[in-house]
Amino acid sequence: MELAEAKEEVKKLREQLEYYAKKYYDEDNPEISDYEYDMMMNKLKALEKEFPELITKDSLTQKVGGHVKEGFKEVVHEVPLQSLQDVFSFAEVKEFDDRVKKQAIEENEELNYVVETKIDGLSVALEYVDGVFVRGATRGNGLIGEDVTENLRTVKSIPKVLKEKITITVRGEVFIGKKEFEKMNEEREVLGEPLFANARNAAAGSLRQLNSKITESRPLEIYVFNVQKWENSPYNSHYEQLLYLERIGFQVNPVKIYCKTYAEVIKAIEKIGEDREKLTFGIDGAVIKVDSLSFREKLGTTYKVPRWAIAYKYPPEAKQTKLRDIICQVGRTGVITPMAILDPVKLAGSTISKTTLHNEDFIKEKDLKIGDTVIIQKQGDVIPEVIAVVKEKRTGEEKEFHMPTTCPVCGAPAVREEGEAATRCIGIECPAQTLRSLVHFASKEGMDIDGLGYKIIEQLMEKGFLHNIADIYRLTIEDVASLKKNGKKFATNLIEAIEKSKQQELFKLINALGIRHVGVKTAKTLANYYKTMENLEKASFESLSVQEDIGEIIAQSIYDFFRQEQTTDLLNQLKSFGVNMKKKEELLDNRFEGKTFVLTGTLEKYSREQASTLIEKHGGKVSSSVSKKTSYVLAGEDAGSKLTKAQSLGVTIITETQFEELLQ
């Protein structure tokens, strides 16, 4: 490669790596796998090695990624929190050993290693003065990090006071365990919140919250793996330091293997690779460190990495196996996911017999057929994936797969809407979706049943008291009281809240049913026009699609929902329990009849919901967007683009005081 061509390639790689590093370190939202990033970085390193004149200080090969997030104070690390040089083969580990061994002979130093798991989380420094935790900071760019002391105080495994009054700075990795991560994502799915891409980014995002209450609600853990600063340390051994840290209260990396030879190092790396599936936390490699602290000083560091340690990254493993069948599973949001049933195969330390095929488009893109020989790959702690079909092994007996048209769990229609990759079950009583349906039904935006949150619903389901939405109104004080010790008062309050919910507004009930694409605004439109649940149930597609703010897709979703036997059955049960099915006519007067309001900015005396209710009680309508048909824009503090648009269209803009004058 010529210099000019190399210069162009280096520029392109740096731009790509900077972009992906920003997504990973600063936004905690990776767009490519660690392996893809590592391969890109290796390509850049190789080019810089071949053309050293192209190396610059701002290259990611020379610095650590990551910046200080706005809202956090900067912390200058007295001892830099460096990155590690990654290697991907035993040959590279041998090169490291040869280099270190050569210097050990020259310096007359005894050479031993410690091999540890490379925990997949967020690196932090913890500072203690006289045994008391005083400050904690993220790694940041290695030299400057973020002060996250208050957030770290919420991590239960970080000791606030040590068993000995020493002044020390240690480095650890904050992470979320595998099971805790799965549980957290399950809960987010039920609550309709976006899922975390992986446990590392969930941990990083949780720790870098400006509100420490959010951090406290997340299942964060920490393992300490290094002493950064400890004046007059009595130890010259990294391994002995770790054992001491355990004795004085730190939770130390549980996998630390003392090795005397290169052969033992390789054996330790292989052992960690074999056992990684049994670990309760995710790892992205194994770290090989020189044990002697005095020898580390002699080995020194580069600008970015220490010369006394490397990180071995386990390469992705791929194997062939048979795709025996494709079955469909229904998730808690109704999404129907095809799963590959495979001939069991040992891959990256675990036996794989099934894996997700994501959706219909994935199957078509890979041209998968039942009976195919396929190649599956697993990298790190990532879910194994089918990456290709071995088409030359086809016999002609393979079968095409088609997504089901009905839900495999409840038999309700399975629908794939235009523009979406997912196929969904639309049955409201589908057992696979029960938890999510119950949580949404009882939520503030739904029937607003105070006290009936995710955790309580989960417990009631586990005890067999809740199987569907209607069961909420069958609960007794005794059922609820059985959840808690001395839970009679809580149970009484919850049953009262359930009873009170029977008188909720019609729009709240419509929204609580969880009809796809229907939120509070659309629910209000439906309640205002149809007046009763019976009228809405009978509404034709044509009638629905001509309503304001309801397009054909939403109309079809509503129409299909009310044609399900499950929906009819649920509504009949709710009626029998006395749940309100009619719009409450509370019109005070019709002074705003024919008038449309848009609210923007922060109001002093009213919440958005209170102002909207007042407008509707006086015959008016509230819209979310400004148009020529808008009658008034009610503007509070910090009004944004809606105010600007209203000014450009000549729409009447009123203050909160003027709004009150209109009401009087």
- Residue 322 has φ and ψ, to the nearest 5°, of -100, 135
What beta strand segments (E) does 230-372 contain? 256-259, 283-290, 309-312, 317-330, 335-347, 350-356
Q: Which residue type sits at 62?
A: Q
**Which residue do the tokens 């409840």 mark?**
410
Report d(CA 461, CA 466) in Å as an integer: 5
Strand partners, 355: 340
Phi-psi region of 436 (alpha: psi -120 to 50; beta: other; left: phi over 0): alpha
| Four-residue CA torsion sign, 564, 565, 568, 570 | negative
Q: Which of 118, 378, 524, 642 is catalytic?
A: 118
Q: Provide the CA 488 distance to its chain's centre, in angstroms.
A: 36
**Which residue do the tokens 């999404």 mark?**
335
Evaluate whether 598 touches 564 at the Cβ level (below 8 Å): no
Report d(CA 393, CA 410) in Å as an integer: 37
Strand partners, 350: 347
* Cα–Cα nearest to 588, from 610, 611, 615, 612: 615
Report d(CA 467, CA 434) in Å as an integer: 7
* Cα–Cα nearest to 294, from 31, 139, 69, 109: 109
Q: Cβ atoms within 10 A of the Cβ of 62, count?
A: 14
Evaluate whether 317 touches 347 at the Cβ level (below 8 Å): yes
Strand partners, 317: 378
Helix (H, G, I), strand (E, B) or coil at 129: strand
* Cα–Cα nearest to 514, from 459, 469, 474, 550: 469
Report d(CA 447, CA 507) in Å as an integer: 10
DSSP structural state of residue 304:
S
Report d(CA 104, CA 107) in Å as an integer: 5
118 is catalytic: yes
Strand partners, 599: 634
Cα angle 213, 216, 219 (rounded to 5 degrees) comes to 145
Report d(CA 320, CA 344) in Å as an integer: 10
Catalytic residues: 118
